Structure 1
């Protein structure tokens, strides 16, 4: 080998050696972290949409991987069991109904110290954010919500000579009489569960639970709101339950044309458009009761497991999903309403033909939240109220029985 080749060979060898040594002394790349996110299943379209949002998050945060798990059965029982066994996911869905109990158990990470001014906490609807506050700490950030609105059949209204939706509950009952037996068999489809009736109890100054968390819906003022339902169903016979007409839900009996009006949430809009495209319907705010506006609001938050070993990564995921960009992607298709005012405005939902009535109700809505032991409250109410509605016992007797049973159960659980 001649001299020039030797020089070339040694030069190449030295270059390779320098590269190897340099690489050896480079700071190690950040190791990736896997965050487990758990929730319940929605429609296939919603699931696909969420997975796309999570993929967008991973692109922005290449060192964080998200493992998404759907718990399709007994969701809260599974979560509670895993929390006890310290095997819960890093981030998970928490319904406002279940939040008071978990927030009181020291199993959730308070989010106050993670929230920066740039996150713009004031942009959230206050009524929704308050459902996830406990002892002056924020434990969850609401990802979406729905209120209730009046859905009415425009063709049925036209046939009955009605050109606008009812503004008061008395008008709704009058409309129901005019609509019953026309295009539809009944004027109004009723949903008797406490989750749909709580705002009626509040309309006359009644309460569902007291400050101690005990049931108190059997008060005289609370019964006034519930009597509206009893009278319309028993005396006027212009309202009907889903079980009376072989329907699976309020939306279903409306879509089937069994009733001219129902009070439903945002979920009913895509359901009716896809399943019953022939129905020409419109929405309006829930009619006032006792001169007071009222409706319900249901919301779900992302919360952080206090035992997670990846708190900063978990916060990055929560802050993206509930931040302006992530929320716009998640709620942009209309399956859910954004909890941030700026996102709702940007998407135009406050002006939307179907959704504006739902958005308008968020400020005055009653949150679906009834203390630390919601099952005892709701189950006893639902069982006894149905009994009263069917005429098996007087309303005051039924509600007193429900209240006493609920409070006995709560006492045993405390």
Structure 2
């Protein structure tokens, strides 16, 4: 009897060890026979790609049993990834934009990272606003590698010429400032400089939708941006463009982006992200500009936050090594290397403090917006939401139809497409 009991104990211990082993995969590579991880991401500027390559080489030097092969997917990134995930050919680790995260998290193709996260990783060091987009049903599926909010970029020389001594703090002030900042130097009836550069695409308008209590989507993921509350904020944007004529779209002034029309001094103010800083300083070195938090609308502070995470494929055969890579890239050391040049802002609070971006002349306003920022997400089917909004909102901006009619049409068509996709 005692012998049988001992056998039972040995069996239970063996089972327990097996369970633990399954929960915590053991690295299998060696320095002479390293595991090769495939990591996929989209294209970046040459300088950013050089920086990423250096960070990956540093990781390999500290982890000689792992090699990382980075694959750049230049076009149709999410379409390529979804095809590979379905076909069992997904990369071990890949970039995932917050916008696309809800759908992939709901499909069971991502590895939950909770079992891999240990106390010394210091998860609490991440900005909570940045973890939220990658959390689904109580589990974390991605760790944000960096982020950017939106801030007000304003031309300080244009402000001085107009007698303005500080950036606008409310939407009413932005509209008022835009009038003296709209200048027709050639006296040809067409301003050479508009006060404000408006970006009519949905990511730049969510703050207006929510300012009066509106929502982009409901809890089921259906579009709700045609509500009276949403229309109240959007109407202010349309009124300035159509009524005051003190704002301009990029197409009105022959440019490709908000950053470009601001850099060419076609507009004196624009809402842009961290990506605009190196572009403006490199491309327009004589431009004098500053940044500030976005003006409040209806007394509410608001901005968007755009973030990308490293995620792990549920299919990977190298979960331990994939976690080593993710934990290095999003750990304090790796993140400081990646964000130290200013290309991106760190999602760890401690790294932001070390790099002093909260005191940086141009980046402090971007950092200040994180606590109240709205993550850029639009439900499980963002393309339907975004495409229909953009088409109809631009139509309303151009005066082709009333705003309420345009938004109702966009909402109806988006929801019909969502129902057909389910």
Which category describes the TM-score, using the shorter chain as reference length?
over 0.9
- SS of match in other structure, 1:94: strand
Q: Deviations over 1:332-380 (max 9, x none)?
A: 0000000000001100000000000000001101110010000000000
Q: C-alpha distance in 1, partners of 2:128/2:74?
A: 30
Q: Deviations over 1:175-221 (max 9, x none)?
A: 00111116752100000001110011111000000000000000000
Give the equivalent residue in structure 2 for 1:18: none
- 1:1-400 pair list within 5 angstroms: 31-181=33-183, 185-400=193-408
> Which has the larger displacement, 176-185 or 243-252?
176-185
1:31, CA displacement in angstroms? Answer: 3.1
Q: C-alpha distance in 2, partners of 1:398/1:113?
A: 47
Q: C-alpha distance in 2, partners of 1:91/1:135?
A: 21
Contact in 1 for aligned 2:31/2:65 (Cα 8 Å): no
TM-score normalised by length of structure 2? 0.91
Contact in 2 for aligned 1:96/1:299 (Cα 8 Å): yes
Q: C-alpha distance in 2, partners of 1:173/1:121?
A: 42
Contact in 2 for aligned 1:156/1:182 (Cα 8 Å): no
Q: C-alpha distance in 2, partners of 1:387/1:303?
A: 38
- SS of match in other structure, 1:177: helix
1:32, CA displacement in angstroms? Answer: 1.1
1:278, CA displacement in angstroms? Answer: 1.0
- SS of match in other structure, 1:325: helix
1:170, CA displacement in angstroms? Answer: 0.2
Contact in 2 for aligned 1:203/1:289 (Cα 8 Å): yes
- SS of match in other structure, 2:388: helix
Give the equivalent residue in structure 2 for 1:3: none
Larger Cα-atom Rg: 1
- Cα RMSD of the aligned pairs, angstroms, is 1.0
Q: C-alpha distance in 1, partners of 2:33/2:45?
A: 34
Q: C-alpha distance in 1, partners of 2:233/2:46?
A: 38
Contact in 2 for aligned 1:160/1:182 (Cα 8 Å): no
Give the equivalent residue in structure 1 for 2:26: none
| Change in CA separation of 1:29 and 1:220 when aligned onto 2, cut-off 3 Å | closer
Q: C-alpha distance in 2, partners of 1:236/1:207?
A: 27
Q: C-alpha distance in 1, partners of 2:262/2:211?
A: 26
Number of residue equivalences: 387
Q: Unpaired runs of 5+ in structure 2?
A: 1-29, 186-191
Q: Deviations over 1:133-175 (max 9, x none)?
A: 0010000000000000000000000000001000000000000
Q: C-alpha distance in 2, partners of 1:182/1:120?
A: 55
Q: Deviations over 1:283-319 (max 9, x none)?
A: 0000000111001100000000000000000000000
- SS of match in other structure, 1:399: helix
